[in-house]
Structure 1
Amino acid sequence: MLKTIRIILAIIVVMLAGFSMITQNFEFMPLLMLILALTMFITGIMELQKTKKRFWGYVSIGASLFVLYVSVEGFLMI
Protein backbone atom coordinates (compact mmCIF):
# COMPACT_ATOMS: atom_id res chain seq x y z
CA MET A 1 0.00 0.00 0.00
CA LEU A 2 2.71 2.49 0.97
CA LYS A 3 4.76 1.57 -2.07
CA THR A 4 1.86 2.31 -4.41
CA ILE A 5 1.16 5.67 -2.76
CA ARG A 6 4.86 6.57 -2.94
CA ILE A 7 5.01 5.75 -6.66
CA ILE A 8 1.88 7.78 -7.42
CA LEU A 9 3.18 10.78 -5.46
CA ALA A 10 6.58 10.53 -7.15
CA ILE A 11 4.93 10.54 -10.59
CA ILE A 12 2.93 13.65 -9.63
CA VAL A 13 6.13 15.37 -8.43
CA VAL A 14 7.94 14.60 -11.67
CA MET A 15 4.99 15.81 -13.75
CA LEU A 16 4.67 19.08 -11.79
CA ALA A 17 8.42 19.69 -11.92
CA GLY A 18 8.48 19.02 -15.66
CA PHE A 19 5.53 21.36 -16.20
CA SER A 20 7.24 24.09 -14.17
CA MET A 21 10.50 23.72 -16.07
CA ILE A 22 8.91 23.68 -19.53
CA THR A 23 6.51 26.58 -18.99
CA GLN A 24 8.73 28.59 -16.61
CA ASN A 25 5.63 28.92 -14.40
CA PHE A 26 6.65 28.43 -10.76
CA GLU A 27 3.20 29.07 -9.32
CA PHE A 28 2.79 25.43 -8.27
CA MET A 29 6.14 25.19 -6.48
CA PRO A 30 4.69 25.12 -2.92
CA LEU A 31 2.30 22.35 -3.95
CA LEU A 32 5.18 20.45 -5.56
CA MET A 33 7.23 20.72 -2.36
CA LEU A 34 4.27 19.58 -0.25
CA ILE A 35 3.83 16.45 -2.36
CA LEU A 36 7.60 15.90 -2.30
CA ALA A 37 7.55 16.11 1.51
CA LEU A 38 4.81 13.48 1.64
CA THR A 39 6.79 11.25 -0.71
CA MET A 40 9.92 11.56 1.40
CA PHE A 41 7.97 10.92 4.59
CA ILE A 42 6.48 7.72 3.17
CA THR A 43 9.95 6.67 2.01
CA GLY A 44 11.27 7.26 5.53
CA ILE A 45 8.50 5.16 7.05
CA MET A 46 9.23 2.35 4.60
CA GLU A 47 12.94 2.48 5.49
CA LEU A 48 12.14 2.37 9.22
CA GLN A 49 10.08 -0.76 8.66
CA LYS A 50 13.18 -2.46 7.26
CA THR A 51 15.60 -3.79 9.83
CA LYS A 52 18.96 -2.81 8.32
CA LYS A 53 18.71 0.79 7.11
CA ARG A 54 17.03 2.62 9.97
CA PHE A 55 19.45 5.59 9.81
CA TRP A 56 18.32 6.56 6.31
CA GLY A 57 14.71 6.36 7.43
CA TYR A 58 15.35 9.00 10.08
CA VAL A 59 17.27 11.14 7.59
CA SER A 60 14.42 10.92 5.10
CA ILE A 61 11.83 11.87 7.71
CA GLY A 62 13.98 14.80 8.86
CA ALA A 63 14.41 16.02 5.29
CA SER A 64 10.67 15.67 4.68
CA LEU A 65 9.92 17.82 7.73
CA PHE A 66 12.27 20.51 6.42
CA VAL A 67 10.67 20.43 2.97
CA LEU A 68 7.24 20.57 4.62
CA TYR A 69 8.32 23.69 6.54
CA VAL A 70 9.57 25.34 3.35
CA SER A 71 6.34 24.40 1.58
CA VAL A 72 4.20 25.98 4.31
CA GLU A 73 6.33 29.12 4.12
CA GLY A 74 5.72 29.18 0.36
CA PHE A 75 1.97 28.89 0.87
CA LEU A 76 2.01 31.75 3.38
CA MET A 77 3.90 34.04 0.99
CA ILE A 78 1.27 33.75 -1.74
Structure 2
Amino acid sequence: TAPVRNKLAAAAEYLGVIEPVVRVAKDAPVRMSRPDVVPSTPADPDRLEELSERWGLSGSVDRLRAAISPDDAG
Protein backbone atom coordinates (compact mmCIF):
# COMPACT_ATOMS: atom_id res chain seq x y z
CA THR A 1 0.00 0.00 0.00
CA ALA A 2 1.08 3.60 -0.47
CA PRO A 3 1.42 4.38 3.26
CA VAL A 4 3.66 1.35 3.78
CA ARG A 5 5.79 2.27 0.76
CA ASN A 6 6.14 5.82 2.08
CA LYS A 7 7.24 4.59 5.51
CA LEU A 8 9.78 2.22 3.97
CA ALA A 9 11.13 4.97 1.74
CA ALA A 10 11.44 7.33 4.71
CA ALA A 11 13.34 4.65 6.65
CA ALA A 12 15.67 3.69 3.76
CA GLU A 13 18.83 5.10 5.36
CA TYR A 14 18.10 3.38 8.68
CA LEU A 15 17.23 0.10 6.99
CA GLY A 16 20.49 0.24 5.07
CA VAL A 17 22.65 0.23 8.22
CA ILE A 18 20.58 -1.84 10.64
CA GLU A 19 21.22 -5.31 9.18
CA PRO A 20 24.53 -5.94 11.01
CA VAL A 21 22.82 -5.03 14.28
CA VAL A 22 19.87 -7.37 13.92
CA ARG A 23 21.40 -10.20 11.89
CA VAL A 24 21.02 -13.57 13.60
CA ALA A 25 24.27 -15.34 14.45
CA LYS A 26 23.73 -18.78 12.97
CA ASP A 27 27.00 -20.17 14.33
CA ALA A 28 26.59 -19.16 17.99
CA PRO A 29 26.88 -22.08 20.39
CA VAL A 30 23.67 -22.86 22.24
CA ARG A 31 23.82 -24.74 25.50
CA MET A 32 20.58 -25.70 27.18
CA SER A 33 20.77 -25.21 30.95
CA ARG A 34 17.13 -26.08 31.55
CA PRO A 35 14.08 -27.31 29.65
CA ASP A 36 12.92 -25.01 26.86
CA VAL A 37 9.21 -25.54 27.48
CA VAL A 38 7.26 -22.27 27.38
CA PRO A 39 5.24 -21.88 30.59
CA SER A 40 1.48 -21.36 30.36
CA THR A 41 1.60 -18.57 32.96
CA PRO A 42 4.18 -15.90 33.78
CA ALA A 43 6.61 -16.84 36.56
CA ASP A 44 5.89 -13.55 38.33
CA PRO A 45 2.56 -12.07 37.11
CA ASP A 46 2.75 -9.06 39.44
CA ARG A 47 6.23 -8.13 38.22
CA LEU A 48 5.16 -8.59 34.61
CA GLU A 49 2.22 -6.24 35.18
CA GLU A 50 4.50 -3.70 36.88
CA LEU A 51 6.94 -3.75 33.96
CA SER A 52 4.07 -3.59 31.48
CA GLU A 53 2.73 -0.43 33.10
CA ARG A 54 6.16 1.14 33.62
CA TRP A 55 7.28 0.72 30.03
CA GLY A 56 3.94 1.04 28.24
CA LEU A 57 3.92 -2.54 27.03
CA SER A 58 0.33 -3.50 27.76
CA GLY A 59 -0.42 -4.50 24.16
CA SER A 60 2.72 -6.64 23.91
CA VAL A 61 2.12 -8.23 27.30
CA ASP A 62 -1.50 -8.94 26.41
CA ARG A 63 -0.31 -10.71 23.24
CA LEU A 64 2.25 -12.65 25.29
CA ARG A 65 -0.40 -13.77 27.75
CA ALA A 66 -2.70 -14.83 24.90
CA ALA A 67 0.12 -16.73 23.21
CA ILE A 68 1.13 -18.74 26.28
CA SER A 69 -2.32 -19.34 27.74
CA PRO A 70 -3.87 -22.75 27.21
CA ASP A 71 -6.39 -22.71 24.39
CA ASP A 72 -9.84 -22.76 26.01
CA ALA A 73 -11.62 -22.97 22.65
CA GLY A 74 -11.04 -26.68 22.20
Larger radius of gyration: 2
More helix by share: 1
TM-score (norm 2): 0.36
TM-score (norm 1): 0.35
